[in-house]
């Protein structure tokens, strides 16, 4: 089992809204007010486990940079400026609370060609709630983003990296690919700019098809981003959003959570 299979990262503020909101959202799903999307045709089963996508097998030197947006917004403008400067597209995974608080930024991120991803409504441990609650956690955010932008999200990152078979299956039922990462910047630990750059660019798992985890709202991420991107480009990597990195169908997974096109090993 790969090291990151046990990784559980922290956030500084949990956007929990209580049982009343959860029950109401669940009722909306059950009554059809919030619909469930068509299931994603995937093969994520390895043995008796359902695995999210940690990385992708590819001969091309392409990687995906991702940002989890669950708290704060002070550095979003700076992050966007740096991404614009380097002309790269990334993926933002957003909670429902973040979408509500910063709708203009959600629109801006999409307008500039980046992926919008689902990070759940209330940032709960998804493996610890019922399947109906899982659906409402996914679809509540989905409907918010769809109503705001018209965009149909299809990428889901479980809060804290917490998942089990039921989480992956429920996400699939809701039309989502479950996404993890194989390179954690550890920016959420606030170790500093140099630490973020070194952790990512010298990471032992960094390679073709890697998925890099960062956060907007972390103390040093925006300051480290320009050098991080420059260094990875110097190593020959091309940045693509997750929607262009992952295989949408005709694939299988290996025990590491690596997505492999059918016909591969």
- Written in H, E and C, the secondary structure of 116-158 is EEECCCCCCCHHHCCHHHHHHHHHHHHHHHHHHHCCCCCEECC
Pick the catalytic residue from 68, 75, 115, 182: 68
Pick the catalytic residue from 114, 119, 215, 252: 215
| Annotation says 68 is catalytic | yes
Q: Active-site residue numbers?
A: 68, 215
């Amino acid at each position: 089992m790969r090291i990151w299979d046990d990784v559980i990262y922290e956030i500084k503020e949990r956007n929990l809204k209580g049982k009343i909101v959860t029950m109401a959202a669940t009722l909306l799903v059950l009554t059809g007010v919030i619909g469930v999307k068509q299931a994603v045709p995937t093969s994520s089963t390895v043995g008796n486990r359902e695995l999210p996508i940690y990385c992708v097998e590819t001969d091309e030197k392409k990687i995906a940079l991702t940002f989890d947006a669950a708290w704060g917004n002070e550095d979003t403008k700076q992050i966007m400026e740096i991404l614009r400067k380097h002309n790269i597209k990334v993926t933002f995974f957003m909670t429902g609370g973040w979408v509500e608080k910063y709708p203009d930024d959600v629109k801006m991120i999409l307008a500039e060609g980046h992926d919008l991803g689902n990070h759940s409504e209330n940032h709960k441990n998804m493996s610890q709630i019922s399947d109906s609650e899982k659906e409402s956690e996914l679809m509540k955010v989905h409907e918010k983003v769809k109503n705001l932008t018209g965009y149909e999200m299809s990428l889901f990152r479980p809060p804290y990296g917490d998942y089990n078979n039921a989480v992956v299956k429920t996400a699939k039922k809701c039309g989502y690919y479950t996404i993890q990462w194989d390179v954690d910047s550890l920016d959420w630990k606030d170790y500093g700019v140099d630490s973020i750059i070194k952790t990512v660019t010298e990471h032992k798992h960094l390679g073709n098809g890697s998925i890099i985890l960062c956060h907007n709202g972390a103390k040093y991420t925006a300051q480290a981003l320009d050098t991080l991107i420059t260094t990875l480009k110097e190593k020959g990597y091309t940045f693509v959003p997750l929607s262009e990195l992952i295989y949408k169908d005709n694939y299988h997974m290996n025990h590491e959570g690596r997505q492999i096109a059918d016909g591969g090993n």
